[in-house]
Amino acid sequence: MNLDFSPVWQGWPYLMQGALVTIEVTSSALLLSVSLGLLIGIGRLNPKRRVIYGLASAYVTFIRGTPLLVQLFLLYFGLPQFNIMLPAFVCGTLGLGIYSAAYVSEIVRGAIQSIDHGQVEAARSIGMSSRQAMRVIILPQAALRMIPPFGNEFIALIKNSALVSLLTISDLMHEAQIIISTSYRSLEVYLAVAFIYLILTNAAGFALRLIERRMKAGGILQ
């Protein structure tokens, strides 16, 4: 077995550029995922609000039940049939964000429902509206419980972002494939790429643990 990493070193600047694009796609998708996931998660709290609950549940069912790759292709290759032609970067970000939001919404819903019902009762008994109780009493406590599962989701998002290379976005994976297409050094280049993903995912995990510690120090105990 002879390993030759020289294509990796030669292509390093491109790999770094690709990693930057991966970070850009992932962080934009993350922003979308968190805001959308929060709304959908809250929408699934109360089955009595039939329309909102039904829409939110349908969303989660559809998104979790179909492959991300299919969803990405629907956006990128499917929408143009309606004359909606979004740039590849937008499709990738949108697709990843929409996909991840379904999982984030379940994290949000689970965390909120794990807060003791006595908290809502106490808040309502001093006269808060349900919205005020949610914002001031429930969400801050739930937020802390969301962080560990949310870290997993963030890491999954980074890894899933490799799929956007198939929408011609020049992310880390895409750059790797270009290098391989001229050097034929698949093993070496994919090993290097795996290593770079590993660093990205661990950095993300570290950042979240830092946030968690901050929030705890900020007074949110338990």
**Contact residues for another protein, defined by CB under 8 A:** 116, 118-119, 121-129, 132, 136-137, 140-141, 144, 219-222
Give 110 or 124: the residue with its C-beta nearer to another protein.
124
Least spacing, CB of residue 35 vs another protein, in Å:
22
Least spacing, CB of residue 178 vs another protein, in Å:
50
Give 124 or 168: the residue with its C-beta nearer to another protein.
124
Least spacing, CB of residue 208 vs another protein, in Å:
19
Contact between 141 and 115 under an 8 Å Cβ cutoff? The reply is yes
Taking phi over 0 as left and psi of -120 to 50 as alpha, with beta for the rest, 66 belongs to beta
Amino acid type, 61 = T
Contact between 72 and 95 under an 8 Å Cβ cutoff? The reply is yes
Give 79 or 128: the residue with its C-beta nearer to another protein.
128
Give the separation between CA 52 and CA 120, rounded to whole angstroms. 21
Give 1 or 217: the residue with its C-beta nearer to another protein.
217
Taking only Cα atoms into account, the Rg of the chain, rounded to an integer number of angstroms, comes to 21
Least spacing, CB of residue 199 vs another protein, in Å:
34
Give the separation between CA 31 and CA 37, rounded to whole angstroms. 10
Least spacing, CB of residue 38 vs another protein, in Å:
18
Give the separation between CA 56 and CA 16, rounded to whole angstroms. 38
Give 142 or 169: the residue with its C-beta nearer to another protein.
142
- How far from 145 is each of 34, 116, 188, CA to CA, in Å? 15, 13, 40
